[in-house]
Amino acid sequence: MILARVWKFGDNIDTDLIIPARYLNTSDEFELAKHCMEDADPDFVKKAQKGDCIVAGFNFGSGSSREHAPIAIKAAGISCVIAKSFARIFYRNAFNIGLPILELPQTDKIDEGDILEIDTKTGKIFNKTKNETYQATAIPEFMQELIVSGGLFNYAKKMIQKGA
């Protein structure tokens, strides 16, 4: 269960807004985190706290196929991203690095600063600020294992160690 304060963004937040291309000369996650969402909201990194979440509209993460965008979000301490829809490559990259993401059609009902209680296993989201419950698309079991493992690489190491 995740308890998170909301940072709200609109539709078509592409990877250049998540992590501007001028910072893609590094793969250091802590350096990327310093610039997460900088072009969408210059104060985001200064104000966001570990455990906060991002809520957005349609087509979150469109653009580049590089993993820098979900890495920057996760390294900035964001616990989860909830959007109406995700670009397919971002969707897969997020799980590959262990960042939970949920698709929820009703993101318009959630406002910046709301406090959400998020169950990534069931997709149930309770808005404590508004006393409302929403049902996101549940994360498939295998994808949940990727999140718990911290991403695909760690999951594969765990499977090798198990002899699977």
Per domain, the residue ranges of the chain are 2-163
Instruction: Please write the tens of the pLDDT for every residue from 75-127.
Output: 999 999 999 999 999 999 999 999 999 999 999 999 999 999 999 999 999 99
Bridge partner list, 97: none
pTM over 0.75: yes
Query: Measured between alpha carbons, how far is 129 from 148 in angstroms, rounded to an integer?
Result: 28
Query: Encoding tokens for residue 137?
Result: 């698309």
Query: Measured between alpha carbons, how far is 82 from 98 in angstroms, rounded to an integer?
Result: 15
Instruction: Please write the tens of the pLDDT for every residue from 120-156.
Output: 999 999 999 999 999 999 898 888 888 888 878 877 8
Query: Measured between alpha carbons, how far is 102 from 21 in angstroms, rounded to an integer?
Result: 25
Homologous superfamily (CATH) of 2-163 is: Aconitase, domain 4 (3.20.19.10)
Query: Encoding tokens for residue 17?
Result: 């807004």
Query: Measured between alpha carbons, how far is 88 from 77 in angstroms, rounded to an integer?
Result: 23
- Say if CB 53 and CB 2 are below 8 A apart: yes
What is the SS3 assignment for 60?
strand
